[in-house]
Amino acid sequence: MIKAAEFARRREDLLHMTGAGSIVLVSAATEKTRNSDVLYPFRQDSDFLYLTGFNEPEAVLVLFTEKGASKAVLFCRPQDPDREIWDGKRAGIAGAVSDFGMAQAHPIDELNKRLPDLLQTADKIYYNVGCEPKFDRQVMSWMNQLHDTKGAHIPGELVSLEHNLHELRLFKSRDEVRAMRKAAKVAVEAHVAAMRRAPTAKNEAELHAELLRVFYRNQCRWSYQPIVGAGDNACVLHYIDNNQAINDGDLILMDAGCESQGYASDITRTFPANGRFSPEQKAIYELVLEAQLAALEEIKPGSKWLAAHHAVVRTLTAGLVELGLLSGEIDELIDLEAYKEFYMHKTGHWLGLDVHDVGDYTIDGESRQLEAGMALTVEPGLYIAPDCDSVEPRWRGIGVRIEDDVVVTKNGHEILSSDLPKTVVEIERLMAG
Ligand code: GLY
Ligand code: MN
Ligand code: MN
């Protein structure tokens, strides 16, 4: 578990970055209605979760420095026996202090009364400017109140919090990596269960159900809607219907991950429904695997973020020429981006509390260097559209992606999802067993 001391350290680090005279405001996520009295499952705002570990809606965190020490004040829902009969337990004001390390806590209903006075102590207000219209309006109303108050000190700057906070979130601590290992381990177990199920499954929905069964049995929730695409559906990058028939001879692309303590895994495997790759499926699969291994070679401190993508593009282009799906000179094909007909996305993204996690990919317009503690996915693919008439019919409708979760270490990297079979031999063996 991530401990209260780590949350306190994150808050302190953030105040260090925002500097003297700053006050930081972070709002919890709001509950979203699905229809009439039914809500979507609550998911805490990742910035708020990162700084508090507090998993309730209707809360605002306020951070500032007082007499040289950083101070955290939480506005949250007070305990309410009547409401708790309907909605479950709340930490309440006392719990926010005792269990979440807050210096003070107040009822959320007192936010409008107390905030203007707190803001008066600051010169710069940091918050996620422009992200939540309702919160923007609240901040403006507090500023309006200060302007209407004779002699009030008006903070001179409103500054977007994202840059500082997201730079902190980009580097994972030991306990964050532990949570991500757990999320990857559970997702690996889910993928294995679904792959074992595939030869007898008649519909994509059965594999989707298998993934969710393993997630929920491990007290995890999905980190994004799983993708279970059989046959041509493997070529639809954001396919989430997961309700079509699985036919003998189909290749199935399954992209699924879960959350542990809010930290995501994001894993893709592609495998034959009947347990045996056809020659064409195998050729495309092994090319994507070769590209993925080339990309993983680049995941180490000092490598440029884009180096893995460049390695993938080169490997895929050369392989597509060899297989006869592209023709021409490799460097020229890369310059012309000919591969984009079959590989139209990037090779990965940061991974953390958000599945597409926060953090800059470039610094001063240049691809940034990888450093220990960064976590990312490595996920090349090839998608040959069912109606692609520039290739022989035997290649059409094959979609392959291979995605692993990786943490950059001092000397290289750790693959969090390495227990999931990946070679053709491993996959066929798993499915036969
Ligand atoms: N599952 C979303 C992604 O791979 O980026
Ligand atoms: Mn994915
Ligand atoms: Mn991904």
Cβ of 405 closer than 6 Å to ligand 1, yes or no, is no
Instruction: Summarize the confidence of residues 25-34 as an average pLDDT.
Output: 98
CA atoms lying within 13 Å on the CB side of residue 256: 35
Instruction: Summarize the confidence of residues 187-209 as an average pLDDT.
Output: 98
Distance 228 CA to ligand 3 centre (A): 14
- Give me the residues paired with residue 414 across strands: 407
Instruction: Summarize the confidence of residues 142-166 as an average pLDDT.
Output: 96
How close are the terminal C-alpha atoms of the chain, in Å? Answer: 35
Q: What DSSP assignment string belongs to 259-290? A: EETTEE--EEEEEETTS---HHHHHHHHHHHH
Q: Which atom of ligand 1 is nearest to the CA of 256?
A: 1
Which residue's structure tokens are 């109140």?
145
CATH class of the region 4-169: alpha beta
Instruction: Summarize the confidence of residues 57-84 as an average pLDDT.
Output: 96
Kindly state the helix (H) or strand (E) to which residue 397 belongs, with its residue range. Answer: none
Handedness of CA 72, 73, 74, 78 (dihedral sign): positive
What is the model's pLDDT at position 380?
Answer: 98
Atom 2 (ligand 1): residue with closest C-alpha? Answer: 266
Distance 194 CA to ligand 1 centre (A): 18
Radius of gyration, CA atoms only, the chain: 25
Residue 385, Cβ density class (10 Å: 0-12 exposed, 13-18 middle, ≥19 buried): middle
Label the pairing between strands 227-230 and 263-264.
Answer: unpaired
Query: In the annotation, is 368 catalytic?
Result: no
Q: How confident is the model at residue 160 (pLDDT cuts 50, 70, 90)?
A: very high
Q: Is the pLDDT of residue 199 over 90?
A: yes
What is the model's pLDDT at position 424?
Answer: 98
Q: Which ranges in the chain are annotated with CATH 3.40.350.10?
A: 4-169
193 vs 207: CA distance, rounded Å: 8
What is the model's pLDDT at position 224?
Answer: 98
The pair of structure tokens assigned to 357 is: 């996690």
Instruction: Summarize the confidence of residues 259-288 as an average pLDDT.
Output: 98
What amino acid occupies position 366?
E
Q: How many CB atoms lie within 10 A of CB 69?
A: 9
Instruction: Summarize the confidence of residues 15-32 as an average pLDDT.
Output: 97
Cβ of 189 closer than 6 Å to ligand 1, yes or no, is no
Q: Which atom of ligand 1 is nearest to the CA of 401?
A: 4
Q: Is the pLDDT of residue 433 over 90?
A: no
Instruction: Summarize the confidence of residues 124-134 as an average pLDDT.
Output: 96
Q: Which ranges in the chain are annotated with CATH 3.90.230.10?
A: 171-431
> pLDDT tens across 313-353, in order?
999 999 999 999 999 999 999 999 999 999 999 999 999 99
What amino acid occupies position 413?
H
Cβ of 224 closer than 6 Å to ligand 1, yes or no, is yes
Query: In the annotation, is 266 catalytic?
Result: yes
Query: In the annotation, is 37 catalytic?
Result: yes
CB-based contact 349:145 (threshold 8 Å): no
Q: Which atom of ligand 1 is nearest to the CA of 403?
A: 4
The separation between CA 45 and the C-alpha centre of its own chain, rounded to angstroms, equals 12
CATH number of 171-431: 3.90.230.10
Instruction: Summarize the confidence of residues 150-173 as an average pLDDT.
Output: 97
Query: In the annotation, is 345 catalytic?
Result: yes
Cβ of 354 closer than 6 Å to ligand 1, yes or no, is no
| Percent over 90 (pLDDT), the chain | 99
Cβ of 255 closer than 6 Å to ligand 1, yes or no, is yes
CB-based contact 368:304 (threshold 8 Å): yes
Average pLDDT taken over every residue of the chain: 97
Cβ of 176 closer than 6 Å to ligand 1, yes or no, is no
Atom 3 (ligand 1): residue with closest C-alpha? Answer: 266
Instruction: Summarize the confidence of residues 170-180 as an average pLDDT.
Output: 98
Query: In the annotation, is 221 catalytic?
Result: no
| Percent over 70 (pLDDT), the chain | 100
What's the pTM value of the predicted model, to 2 decimals?
0.97
Q: What share of the chain is helix, strand, coil (3-state, %, to 5)?
A: 40, 20, 40
